[in-house]
Chains A and B, each alone.
Chain A
Amino acid sequence: MKYIDEFRDGRLIAKVANEIAKRAGGRVYTFMEVCGTHTMAIFRYGLRGLLPENIRLISGPGCPVCVTPADYLDKAIFIAGLEGVIVATFGDMMRIPGSHSSLEKEKAKGASVKAVYSTDDALDMARKKADSQVVFLGVGFETTAPTVAASIVRAKREGIKNYSVLCGHKTMPEVLRILVKDKSVNIDGFLLPGHVSAIIGTRPYEFLSKEYGKRCVVAGFEPLDVMQSILMLVDQSSPRVEVQYKRAVERSGNGLAQRMMRKVFDTTAASWRGIGRVDHSGLKIKREFSSFDAEVRFRPKAAPPRAPKGCLCGEVLKGVKTPVECRLFGKACNPEHPVGACMVSSEGTCAAYYRYCR
């Protein structure tokens, strides 16, 4: 496939790996790949094995379904149980455990839950099934938030009255501040999420290098992207934010998408599974669009979030612990019966460890 195979070229990748080893010398570097898609690429292509031992990669909190807290799922399950409601969701959300159940289990019991690939599919469903309420589960970072915002604007414009969004969106930069402030987290630099950055640009990350002296490279998702980004991190003489993923990311980001998000959402505090409440790290639907807010429309109930016993997802998300250090990993918690959120999504750190490097 054009423009994909080139980024998976084994010979080029081996060359970059050599260069990384040479330039890193003997120094130990710890880099965090923030995004779940990076974690997947690293495992899927076996990149760890190509890096010298002194380059340590840890996985960060950038898998959107993994950081979605149980109370959000409880609300979604509550709504899915209402008469005449169809919950439309990205497939990954189906198996995430809430406090007592998951959407997949509720679906098996008869709740109406449909996996869709985009908000367009959910809107279509609302147009076709006028006598049902279609509730889209709005989760994800700045990558998915603009399209969800656009779906709300569109529903308003078209007068689609049976469409609403249960908003659980999160934003990236502020949670990284929590990580760099946490003394137990020892990171030399970040592989920053390429797709989030395509929307927000690079300015929101500047504090990482300016205030905390961290090296940063916005990275693409193909194996050569990841390897080149690691090389760029090793090579930085003074900490700054660089862009490796130039084919998609501009320093100012995508203005249209940013405006769309600002139009529909306000910033709010958000609760992250495993990390807790983080100020200014979530989005909520503005009052102007409250008739499309499923929280307002259905008043879903949920118990306050609590972490499952023995689960180390919080530490794993912060990159303090690796999945193999968790007592539940591979035993009580596995892809067929996930306990913690990091095992649920294929992009979760624990799921990636389970699948690719046990």
Chain B
Amino acid sequence: MKVIEFEGVSKIYGRQSRQFFLRYLTQAWKKRRNEAIRALSDISFHVLDGESLAVVGNNGAGKSTLLNLVAGLTQPESGQVTVRGRVAALLELGSGFHGDLTAAENLRVNAALLGLTRQQTEESYASIVEFSELGAFMGEPLRTFSAGMTLRLAFSIAVHVEARILLLDEVLAVGDQEFRQKCVDKIFALKRSGKVLLCVSHVPELLTELCEHTLWLDSGRMVRHGPTAEVLPAYLEQAATQRFNRK
């Protein structure tokens, strides 16, 4: 069964020269189309249940836009995005955290935002706290936390969301070496339990192990899509050549 399906998907970001209402009115029909940036053009692929997909490409290739489309955070200009099942986006972790609230209060609000019910939140509260190893600090305001501690809390909440599809965008840079290893182990455990992962990472070893397929993007276009064993080395080789030529 196709869990994620893209059919001829294009995403255009208009340049935002709209600050002034009058200027907007006068320019409405004139220029806006030519100023647009194509973040993705005509992308088609699908991910089957239980499979995982790595998305690779240089900066500005459209990786984040692709994940945002899967998460339903933005809409395509043309084409069709079909997603079957709940999506947990481990993108920018800790959105909605507020420094003046305690860690425990932030945990509950964040869990609600990620789609947990009241009952699910209470049930998984203990296990989230245990995973984050922050039990002693749950009553403290979040502004007293270090950046690493905040991320640990955010990651712990996010992996407790019951979702079929997990979007990972460089989230494995969490905390110290020990906690990072714990996160990697957790991701592998989720993978083994049959979740569909969509990974953006600059750590090739991780992608090779986690994802059966790789999608290679360049300036919004699909360069190659196929088994990771074939596409990833080709991408890495091309990236290395590019670096070499620039020197």
A and B are interacting partners = no
